[in-house]
Homo-oligomer: A and B are copies of this chain.
Amino acid sequence: MKVRILVSYKKSILDPQGQTVKNALLTMGYNFIQDVRQGKVFELELEGISQEEARKVIPEISDKALANPIIEKFSWEIIE
């Protein structure tokens, strides 16, 4: 089974990387860009675990090891 976990800053948190990318794209002439937010993506290959178990353990892993719950949020999905 393969799961994809997206980790990004909460809305209230400034995102200087995203801001820098936005400014670069505007400088390049892409003036339809309103906002850019940058985050991380993790793709985990799992074996020997049911979808039901994954639904319990993936949020736990995300919270403990992949995201900082004070400033980041995560979402995830099974992709394979």
Contacts and interface: CB of A to CB of B under 8 A. Distances in A.
A48 B65 contact: no
A47 interface: yes
A41 interface: yes
A40 B41 contact: yes
Number of copies: 2
28 contacts: A6-B41, A8-B43, A21-B65, A21-B66, A24-B65, A25-B61, A25-B65, A28-B64, A28-B65, A32-B47, A32-B48, A32-B49, A33-B45, A33-B46, A34-B45, A34-B46, A35-B44, A35-B45, A36-B43, A37-B42, A37-B43, A38-B40, A38-B42, A39-B41, A39-B42, A39-B43, A40-B40, A41-B41
